[in-house]
């Protein structure tokens, strides 16, 4: 069997190139250090202070929460201005008050229920606001306008709810999915 020198050289060159690429990829993945957050605090003991340092990795902060990103947070109430024609078609409770149901058939609860393009029942932790659950949907044109990054807080169905929604306005906050 005769080996042609140019084919041998080409094979050697290809093999060298593959080894170089693998080495570069391996080196880059090893060179990226794990992000570390350092928290320093002082604990007071009788008559003396001791300084402690605690190291927290991103995984140890809260492994049950997944950052979804920044969302536009708006607010709405059960009135006709916020809900349109649906506001006049609601059932009444025994006291004659309207019962507000979300698009999934769940009675909405102020300070807990939200409307969002996220799947029904998704629980989210909104920065500074706490845990809320998707129990209503946003309209398609709203969803598209905010590229799916919109959450509408349900403020209630009482006299002051619409005013609270107006005062809330539109804010941007970080949102985590809670498992």
Which residue has tokens 């002082």? 42
99 shares its domain with 169: yes
Q: pLDDT at position 33, please?
A: 53
85 shares its domain with 158: yes
Q: What is the CATH number of the domain that holds 156?
A: 2.40.40.10
Maximum average pLDDT range among 28-32, 95-99, 151-155: 151-155
How far is it, in rounded angstroms, from Cα 154 to Cα 53? 42
76 shares its domain with 160: yes
Number of folded domains in the chain? 2
Structural domain of 5: 1-32
Domain membership flag for residue 41: no
Per the structure block, which two tokens stand in for 95?
């006291």
91 shares its domain with 174: yes
**Residue 32 to residues 35, 38, 130: CA-CA distances in angstroms?**
9, 18, 33
* Structure confidence by residue, pLDDT tens digits, 54-66: 444 444 456 578 9
Domain membership flag for residue 42: no
Whose CA is closest to 87, among 168, 157, 154? Answer: 157
Average pLDDT over residues 96-110: 86
Q: Is the pTM of this model over 0.75?
A: no
66 shares its domain with 26: no
* Structure confidence by residue, pLDDT tens digits, 10-49: 777 777 777 777 776 766 655 555 555 554 555 555 555 4
How far is it, in rounded angstroms, from Cα 150 to Cα 71? 5
């Amino acid at each position: 069997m005769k080996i042609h020198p140019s084919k041998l050289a080409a094979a050697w060159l290809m093999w060298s190139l593959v080894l170089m690429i693998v080495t570069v990829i391996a080196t880059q993945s090893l060179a990226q250090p794990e992000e570390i957050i350092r928290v320093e605090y002082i604990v007071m003991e009788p008559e003396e202070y001791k300084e402690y340092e605690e190291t927290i990795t991103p995984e140890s902060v809260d492994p049950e929460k997944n950052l979804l990103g920044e969302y536009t947070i708006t607010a709405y109430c059960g009135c006709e201005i916020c809900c349109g024609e649906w506001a006049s078609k609601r059932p009444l409770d025994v006291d004659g008050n309207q019962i507000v149901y979300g698009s999934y058939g769940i009675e909405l609860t102020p300070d807990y229920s939200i409307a969002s393009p996220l799947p029904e029942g998704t629980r989210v932790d909104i920065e500074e606001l706490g845990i809320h659950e998707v129990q209503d949907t946003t309209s398609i044109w709203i969803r598209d306008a905010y590229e799916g990054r919109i959450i509408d807080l349900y403020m209630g169905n009482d006299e002051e709810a619409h005013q609270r929604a107006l005062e809330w306005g539109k804010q941007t906050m970080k949102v985590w999915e809670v498992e």
